[in-house]
Amino acid sequence: MRADDILQFVEGPTVLDVGCAGHVVQPESKEWLHGRLRAQFEVTGIDISQENISKMRGLGFDDLHVQSADSFALDRKFNTSSLENSLSTSATLARSWLGPVNT
């Protein structure tokens, strides 16, 4: 399972999930990474799809933002960034959003 492969590298407690909707919102699927991350970590999600973010909010998910991975603005840093469904450059994200976190 792809989500299992990714989860083994995630360190928390805070995670930025870029492309969090995963093309199709599938909370019942064990392969839907955002749901799996939420079960274990404090997760902030960003996605460019307003429609999918609205669906996720309707299902009770929170801390979601309609933003592009290339130009988003959040006021905090994260322990891990997941880019499973994003074409963004991970090096750019690492320089900007990953770092020591005060928990």
* CATH classification of the domain holding 63: 3.40.50.150
Distance in angstroms (rounded) separating the CA atoms of residues 47 and 101: 23
Residue 52 carries which DSSP code? H
Residue 41: domain span: 2-97
Strands 64-66 and 42-47: parallel
Asked if residue 103 is part of any domain, the answer here is no
- The residue among 50, 41, 52, 49 whose CA lies nearest residue 16 is 41
Number of domains present in the structure of the chain? 1
> For 18-48, what is each residue's pLDDT tens digit?
989 877 788 888 888 899 999 999 999 999 9
User: Which residues contact residue 67 at a Cβ distance below 8 angstroms, ignoring those fewer than 6 apart?
Assistant: 46, 47, 48, 73
Residue 68 reports pLDDT greater than 70 = yes
Q: Report pTM.
A: 0.78
